[in-house]
Every structure is written in structure tokens, then in C-alpha cells.
């Protein structure tokens, strides 16, 4: 293998088929190799016994299967597991698995750091380094699936995958869509399309592109039902205010009868947890097929917020439920290993590029 070897983790099924076809090989080799990589965990082409010897030698000379390196692995008392993985350029990102009875949710990262600087999120405080490559995104799934004993053609420990880790997925659009295609492929991980969820802070042009590019589900990090407050908590709202965001959500939901859009709402004591704001949220979501995840704030060092009392969260939740909105209060999981929602930090070496990235957001 040479330094310029092609990393085959970069390709979904269509990409692998095209790659083999361009080299004069039958395109079905792409499916064969996809299964070896994502179901048999092959790292060595010599193990791919249904490929001819000459082809295996050719692959060994010009291609590779290279996933991120696991730096550390932690397991919480509640069964939550977190991997810190090193990607290129010395960056690290975090991947979290949350078991819940028959359901197993894997939360993966799409960027090293995040350019959006949401005030309640630990990741945003460290700045932004770069987008992850396809191999670095799907590599997180491969690492976790192998460790958990998941098999796309047998035991499926991972039932759901959410792009809710470090980064804004819609600012790494092409790589994320390709990685999600691998997750859903029955020749790879076989995750049901509605069980793969992309979470965005509200990049409106990206939501419209996603509607046509992937059958995945959508989650929106909302956190406030009116623009002035959301401008403070989620600064991207200044570029794509709530009216534009809700219109994009309606367009997304109208296509092919998709599942309701999940709206994530981090509960911050004395900031966004009042009954009046709950009623305002009901009005905001009136014309969008929605379910709401209420997330009591998970503290991190230097955070300017506190978690509301349980009765405050319950009162907010009850207002939404009484209005007919499916609402769940998310349990805090993995808090003892800093794996709870909003806590992911990793060991990212940021390059103070946040402001430049914000200026480059699509109009």
C-alpha cells in the first residue's frame, strides 16, 4: 500500500461500483467489497476470498481500508459507552452508544469541533477545526458496531443512528449523505432509513437539499420558540430565523410521508422553561408534524446555565402534551463519562476558524 492509496471507506455502494467499473472490473465487486468491509470487518484484502488473487493483489497495491484510531473507550454505570477516536490532523471526536432495552442508539460526530457556537453546548466552545471525511464518519459506526457485535446481516445491536454528536452535519453535506447511505445499506449496516436521523441547528438550504438527497429522518435543535431568545441561544437563527426554518421543516415533512420531525429543546432554568414559552412553542409547531424531546440541561465547566427543577420540566411537558404534541423528556445518560447531550468535547485542536466559517454559511 502506498501513501496515495485510495481508502475504500470513503465510498458507498454506488461509489464502490463506479470505482471498480472505472478500473475495468465488474461493478458487482463493489457490493462484495462493501460486505467485507462493513459486515466482516476486513482490513486485509487477502481475506476477501470471493475475489480473484490478481484483484486482491491489485487492491493491496493501490487501496486501503483505514478507519479512525481509538484513543480511549469508556463505559458508564448505566451502560452508555463512549469512544474517543483520532482522525486526521491530530483532531479527536467522540462517539456514544446508548442502550435502552431493545433499542440501541449510536450518536456520531460529523465535524471536528463546531462553528455554530450554541451557548449551551460544550462542543461549540472549543471552536471549529474541519469537516470529517466519509471514512471518518462511517469509521465511527464501524468501530462501534464491531465492538458491540452488531452485524448488518444478523445481530443488530445498533437499531438507531443519530448525527447529533460533534458538529453541524448540514455543513458537511456531501460526506454526511454518503455516510448515511452506507448506514442504511443492507449490504453494510442495514439500519432502517427512518432510524437514521440527522440533527441540524437550522441550516435552511441544507434541509431543502437533504429532502431530495436522503430518506433519513430529521431533527432540529430548536431550544426557543421566538426569534429574540433563539438568536441568543442558537446564533445561526440570525441567518435563518424561525419563520424560514419552520417553512423548510414543512417542505421536508411533505415529501413521501416521512416520520414527524423531532424538535430538540434543551431546558435552561429561568431562560426558556416558562409556561408562556411552552404555549408559544405549541403555536410555532401547530402546522408541522412534530414530536418534541425535552432535554434537561447537562452542565459542563464554565456553563452559564442550570438545569430546571423536575416539576418545571414536567409542567412545560404537560402543556405540550395537552396540546396534542408528542413530547418526551430525555433521560440523562452517560453523565459520569461526559457522554450526555451537549457535553461532547473530545480533544479537538481548534484553529480559531469559527468566525470565518460563519461568514461562509450558504445564503
Q: Hey, which residues are catalytic here? A: 94, 341
C-alpha cell at 270: 429561568
Do 230 and 224 meet the contact criterion of CB atoms below 8 Å apart? yes
Q: What angle do CA 70, 74, 77 make, to 5 degrees?
A: 160
**Distance in angstroms (rounded) separating the CA atoms of residues 130 and 87:** 11
Going from the C-alpha of 104 to that of each of 96, 144, 155, 160, the distances in angstroms are 10, 11, 12, 6
List b or e across 286-317, with b for residues whose CB sees 16 or more CB atoms inside 10 angstroms. Answer: eebbbbbbbbbbbbbeebebebbeeebbeebb
Do 141 and 185 meet the contact criterion of CB atoms below 8 Å apart? no
Q: How many CB atoms lie within 10 A of CB 189?
A: 24
Do 105 and 161 meet the contact criterion of CB atoms below 8 Å apart? yes
Which own/partner contact pairs does 212-218 have at CB distance under 8 Å and 24+ positions apart? 212/255, 213/173, 213/177, 214/177, 214/180, 214/181, 215/184, 215/256, 215/258, 216/180, 216/184, 217/193, 217/258, 217/259, 217/261, 217/262, 218/249, 218/252, 218/258, 218/261, 218/262
**Distance in angstroms (rounded) separating the CA atoms of residues 239 and 358:** 10
CA contacts within 13 A on the Cβ side of 266: 23
Amino acid at each position: 500500500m502506498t501513501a496515495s492509496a485510495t481508502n475504500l471507506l470513503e465510498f458507498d455502494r454506488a461509489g464502490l461500483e463506479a470505482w471498480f467499473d472505472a478500473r475495468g472490473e465488474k461493478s458487482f465487486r463493489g457490493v462484495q467489497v462493501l460486505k467485507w468491509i462493513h459486515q466482516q470487518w476486513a482490513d486485509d484484502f487477502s481475506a476477501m476470498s470471493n475475489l480473484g488473487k490478481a484483484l486482491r493483489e491489485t487492491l493491496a497495491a493501490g487501496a486501503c481500508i483505514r478507519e479512525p484510531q481509538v484513543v480511549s473507550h469508556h463505559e458508564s454505570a448505566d451502560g452508555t459507552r463512549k469512544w474517543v477516536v483520532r482522525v486526521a490532523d491530530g483532531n479527536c471526536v467522540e462517539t456514544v452508544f446508548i442502550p435502552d432495552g431493545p433499542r440501541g442508539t449510536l450518536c456520531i460526530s460529523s465535524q471536528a469541533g463546531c462553528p455554530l457556537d450554541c451557548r449551551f453546548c460544550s462542543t461549540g466552545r472549543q471552536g471549529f477545526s474541519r469537516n470529517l471525511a466519509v471514512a471518518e464518519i462511517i469509521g465511527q459506526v464501524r468501530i462501534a458496531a464491531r465492538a458491540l457485535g452488531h452485524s448488518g446481516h444478523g445481530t443488530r445491536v445498533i437499531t438507531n443512528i443519530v448525527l447529533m454528536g460533534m458538529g453541524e452535519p448540514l455543513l458537511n453535506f456531501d460526506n454526511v449523505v454518503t455516510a448515511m447511505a452506507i448506514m442504511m445499506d443492507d449490504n453494510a449496516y442495514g439500519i432502517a432509513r427512518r432510524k437514521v436521523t440527522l440533527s441540524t441547528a437550522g441550516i435552511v438550504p441544507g434541509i431543502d437539499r437533504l429532502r431530495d438527497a436522503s430518506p433519513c429522518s430529521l431533527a432540529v435543535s430548536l431550544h426557543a420558540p421566538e426569534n429574540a431568545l433563539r438568536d441568543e441561544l442558537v446564533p445561526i437563527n440570525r441567518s435563518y430565523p424561525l419563520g424560514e426554518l419552520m417553512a423548510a421543516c414543512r417542505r421536508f415533512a411533505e415529501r413521501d410521508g416521512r416520520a414527524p420531525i423531532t424538535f430538540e429543546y434543551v431546558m435552561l432554568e429561568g431562560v426558556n422553561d416558562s409556561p408562556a414559552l411552552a404555549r408559544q412553542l405549541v403555536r410555532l409547531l401547530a402546522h408541522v408534524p412534530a414530536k418534541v424531546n425535552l432535554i434537561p440541561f447537562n452542565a459542563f465547566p464554565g456553563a452559564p446555565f442550570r438545569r430546571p427543577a423536575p416539576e418545571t420540566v414536567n409542567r412545560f411537558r404537560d402543556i405540550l402534551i395537552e396540546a396534542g404534541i408528542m413530547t418526551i423528556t430525555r433521560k440523562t445518560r452517560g453523565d459520569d463519562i461526559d457522554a450526555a447531550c451537549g457535553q461532547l468535547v473530545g480533544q479537538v485542536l481548534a484553529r480559531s476558524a469559527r468566525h470565518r466559517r460563519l461568514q461562509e454559511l450558504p445564503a
